[in-house]
Structure 1
Amino acid sequence: MTSPSATPIDLSTWPRRQHFEHYRSAVPCTYALTVDLDATAFVEALRDSTRKTYIAQIWALATAVNQHDEFRMCLTPDGAPATWPVVHPSFTVFNAARETFASVWAPYDPSFAAFHDTAAALLTEHRTATEMFPQGPPPANSFDVSSLPWTSFTGFSLAVQPGFDHLAPIFTLGRYVEREGSLRLPVALQVHHAAADGFHAARLLETVQGLLLEPGWVA
């Protein structure tokens, strides 16, 4: 699949122009935010379904990301900000025998059923992969999701070098934990401050939370 063209942002009308320039050049930085999302209804819906939990988690993240321009940002060859019309999730698949993982990607589809079938086939095909990127390099318009289903966590951050050119969000998922009668899903979000501020990160995570609270799309 060929990546579509990213649309340059009109700097003359962009409210975040000064913020982008500050966090891109003067004080380049990223930040990480970890939250526990209420996944009770989501888990219940999956118990009554044949859908795979991991794929449903990935689709929820991809759906939220594609609703918000600031999380589909990239840089043009001359370093100017631009926005992809759509971004696709790149996600890990664990090879238990080797204790290594591969990274695969699936084209985002607003239909969960269609996305699920594509992603499920990829996870089956590459669960014994010995290459880190068995499909070849992911497309430019992709973002990363990884999962740590073996442990829960209350904080998680990445030190990405050279991360100051990487504007796409990075997600890490943990193991469910039961707390006060609800199942909680740890979600860590890594953000480039040039692309998004705390307000935008909070709104993105609220979008994900809404999808988990109303999981009728799982069926």
Structure 2
Amino acid sequence: MTPTFTPIDLQTWQRRDYFYYFTKMMPTGFTVNVDVDITATYDAAKLAGYHFNAVYLYLMTRLISEQPEFMIAQRGKQLGYYDHLTPSYSVFHEDDHTISGIWTDYNADLAVFNANYEVDKTQYSDQHGAVAKPDQPENAYMINMNPWLHFNSYTPLSFNGLPNFLPVIEAGKYVLQDDRRTMPVSFTIHHAVADAWHVSHFFKKLQEALNKPEDWLK
């Protein structure tokens, strides 16, 4: 899907003052870590023949697309919104324990997205190097899963000083207790574009969707 970029009018934008404050006066980002119950969606995905990672990438991207504040980027000096994001994630190489970055075009139809995901995994899983799939689109955001560790906190750090207003999402290893699967999810965002309420609202929607996969996993 080709992304649409809608410019933001800074003169009328309601977050103008906050954007200035958190980029110029006190540059700030924050991370929220939440344990989510994935039991219903995990079981439904397996029953439907989907790999859970594909469903995870799809659902996160779908929910992000419902909140414009998570799709803000800067083209040159122009700030604006994308209409959707593209998940950029890593594949793990068992032979040398390295990772390579790939991406899959988002599609609102889970079956189509899953098919694209399977094609990308098949084509690029054996290609080593930092970037396995080239030509990453401009609306790509970083989302990954660490299946080896159930963490309490995960905070990605950027050292290049460049503005990045898109979210960074990381999931950890789920734990099974009393027949329930609980998975940690870390959500990092620049404070210039979003506040705690926005991220809290995202996690509320996420848990509701995970509890009722019959509403969206078809």
Whether 1:21 and 2:20 are equivalent positions in the alignment is yes
Q: What is the count of residue pairs matched by the alignment?
A: 217
Residues in 1 aligned to 2:73 and 2:47: alpha-carbon distance in whole angstroms? 39
Aligned to 2:81: 83
- C-alpha contact 1:164 1:192 (8 A) present in aligned 2: no
Residues in 2 aligned to 1:178 and 1:4: alpha-carbon distance in whole angstroms? 38
What do the CA deviations read for 1:96-121 (whole angstroms, capped 9, x no partner)?
Answer: 11211111111110100000000111
Aligned to 1:112: 110
**1:16 partner amino acid:** R
- C-alpha contact 2:3 2:85 (8 A) present in aligned 1: no
1:169-184 equivalent positions in 2, closer than 5 A: 169-179=167-177, 181-184=179-182
**Aligned match of 1:141 in 139, 145, 149?**
139
Identity %: 24
Aligned to 1:59: 58
**2:45 partner amino acid:** L
- C-alpha contact 2:149 2:173 (8 A) present in aligned 1: yes
In the TM superposition, what is the alpha-carbon distance from 1:4 to its structure 2 partner? 3.9
Residues in 2 aligned to 1:51 and 1:163: alpha-carbon distance in whole angstroms? 38
CA 1:218/1:10 → structure 2, altered by over 3 Å: closer, same or farther? same
Residues in 2 aligned to 1:50 and 1:58: alpha-carbon distance in whole angstroms? 16
**1:140 partner amino acid:** E
- C-alpha contact 1:167 1:191 (8 A) present in aligned 2: yes
| Aligned partner of residue 48 in structure 2, secondary structure | coil
Residues in 2 aligned to 1:104 and 1:61: alpha-carbon distance in whole angstroms? 17
| Aligned partner of residue 210 in structure 1, secondary structure | helix
Name structure 2 gaps, 5 residues minimum.
none
17-26 vs 158-167, which moves further? 158-167
In the TM superposition, what is the alpha-carbon distance from 1:181 to its structure 2 partner? 4.9
Aligned to 2:164: 166
- C-alpha contact 2:46 2:52 (8 A) present in aligned 1: no
RMSD: 1.6
Query: TM-score by structure 2 length?
Result: 0.93
Residues in 1 aligned to 2:98 and 2:194: alpha-carbon distance in whole angstroms? 32
Residues in 2 aligned to 1:175 and 1:131: alpha-carbon distance in whole angstroms? 24
What do the CA deviations read for 1:64-87 (whole angstroms, capped 9, x no partner)?
Answer: 111110111001312x42111221
Moved over 3 A (4+): none
Residues in 2 aligned to 1:200 and 1:63: alpha-carbon distance in whole angstroms? 15
| Aligned partner of residue 218 in structure 1, secondary structure | coil
**1:114 partner amino acid:** V
Residues in 2 aligned to 1:158 and 1:195: alpha-carbon distance in whole angstroms? 18
